[in-house]
């Protein structure tokens, strides 16, 4: 049985106040092309369908269109809610959609009924376990250990009626200990949300969502597929993909990936203002249309740098400086101020502390004239 594993669509997400709806529509169309090419037996979406619990109209429209097109292909689809989703909203209409082969995880109730597909090797049971916290599991199993995420998941899984002689697939949305995070993910204090991979030992494949980098967790059968798009500049050098899973007879598994090509890349560039605005630097690249993070190395701030650079880099999302001032900002306290100095000397000291270099002679002349005019008024 061939599965196509997706997660963390984050439909409706904005990155540095830029809407990504157009980019997400593009990548969903690309995934549908992969479905046509790979002809999987089922498609899995392991949580974080939306970026917010109350998604935008555009985000709901995108997902609706995606599901309709999958249903037209008679492709079984398994969807769970993630920590960004509202489980009640994700599960809405699930009993009606079951008829179309679109299976949405219900709100966790202490029981998870499997959905079974068949192939030449027999049944494959799919368990849809949405994102849960210890408090959600404790509500239904108050006498069992649920203090940590590992304990809660172990308790929830322990109450699944697994036939260990047959193939079982778990779709869930958690952070497995040892996996690598990206900047675009929510992080809990002290790693309190960690789940030990040993709780998944009885499954033939665990389709994970939550982390944005594709990776295995100690074993090929426990896997994050990652996001279909880059959602932070920490992911700029990542290659996004979908995961293709081939389940053979019991104990037989192979996993591979198919690369995704975004409408626009996330690009990080650095240099002086003069370098970055040089036609020779950007000509022949896609940088003018890509989403960019520029770092200026000029020692002097460039007036209206953002506006000027956006005339060239239309997708400029973030602008930083890397110079003597930004590399080492001194802390300015009351002890720093020497009250026996003149206003000119005090400001010159303040400027040097703030910018890690003294004022120029031209700046000193300008400041002295300014202070004189202020005193005369």
d(CA 312, CA 305): 11
Confidence grade of residue 180 (pLDDT, cut at 50, 70, 90): low
pLDDT at residue number 35? 98
Q: What is the mean pLDDT of residues 288-299?
A: 94
Q: Taking phi first (over 0 means left), then psi (-120 to 50 degrees means alpha), and beta for anything else, what does residue 363 get?
A: alpha
**DSSP letter string over 124-176?**
EEEEEE----HHHHHTT-TTS--SSHHHHHHHHHHTS---TTSEEEEEEE-EE
The pLDDT assigned to 345 comes to 82
> What's the rounded Cα separation, in Å, for the pair 9 and 162?
29
pLDDT digits (tens, 9 = 90+) for 336-345: 455 567 888 8
**Where do runs of H (alpha helix) occur along the chain?**
21-38, 57-72, 87-90, 94-98, 134-138, 149-158, 273-276, 279-282, 305-310, 324-327, 343-355, 361-376
State the first-to-last Cα distance of the chain, in angstroms, to the nearest integer: 84
**pLDDT tens, residue by residue, 350-369:** 887 777 778 888 888 888 88
Structure tokens at 192: 């309190």
Number of helices (H), then strands (E), in the chain: 12, 19
The two structure tokens encoding residue 284: 């022949």
Nearest alpha-carbon partner for 106 in 121, 124, 125, 87:
87
pLDDT in tens, 267-276: 999 999 999 9
Q: Kindly tell me the sign of the dihedral angle through the C-alpha atoms of 222, 28, 81, 13.
A: positive
């Amino acid at each position: 049985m061939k599965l196509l594993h997706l997660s963390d669509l984050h439909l409706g997400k904005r990155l540095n106040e830029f809407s990504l709806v157009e980019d997400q529509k593009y990548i969903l169309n690309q995934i549908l092309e992969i479905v046509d090419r790979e002809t999987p037996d089922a498609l899995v979406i392991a949580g974080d369908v939306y970026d917010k619990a109350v998604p935008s109209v555009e985000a709901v429209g995108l997902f609706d269109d995606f599901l309709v097109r999958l249903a037209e292909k008679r492709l079984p689809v398994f969807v769970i809610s993630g920590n960004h989703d509202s489980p009640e909203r994700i599960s809405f209409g699930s009993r009606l959609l079951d008829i179309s082969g679109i299976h949405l995880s219900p709100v966790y109730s202490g029981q998870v009924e499997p959905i079974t597909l068949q192939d030449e090797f027999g049944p494959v049971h799919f368990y849809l376990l949405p994102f849960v916290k210890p408090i959600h599991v404790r509500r239904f199993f108050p006498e069992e250990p649920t203090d940590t995420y590992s304990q809660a998941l172990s308790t929830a899984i322990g109450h699944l009626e697994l036939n260990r002689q047959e193939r079982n697939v778990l779709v869930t949305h958690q952070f497995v200990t040892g996996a690598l995070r990206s900047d675009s993910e929510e992080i809990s204090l002290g790693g309190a949300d960690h789940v030990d991979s040993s709780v998944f030992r009885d499954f033939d494949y665990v389709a994970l969502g939550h982390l944005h980098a594709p990776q295995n967790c100690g074993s090929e059968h426990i896997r994050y597929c990652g996001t279909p798009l880059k959602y932070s500049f920490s992911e700029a050098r990542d290659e996004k993909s979908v995961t293709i899973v081939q389940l053979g007879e019991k104990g037989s598994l192979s996993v591979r990936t198919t690369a995704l090509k975004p409408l626009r890349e996330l690009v990080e560039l650095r240099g002086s203002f003069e370098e970055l605005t040089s036609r020779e630097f950007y000509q022949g690249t896609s940088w003018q249309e890509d989403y960019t993070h520029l770092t200026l190395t000029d020692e002097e701030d460039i007036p209206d740098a953002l506006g000027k650079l956006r005339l060239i880099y239309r997708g400029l999302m973030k602008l930083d400086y890397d110079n003597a001032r930004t590399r080492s900002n001194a802390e300015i306290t009351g002890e720093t101020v020497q009250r026996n100095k003149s206003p000119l000397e005090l400001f010159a000291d303040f400027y040097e502390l703030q910018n890690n270099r003294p004022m120029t002679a031209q700046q000193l002349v300008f400041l002295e004239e300014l202070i004189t005019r202020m005193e005369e008024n």
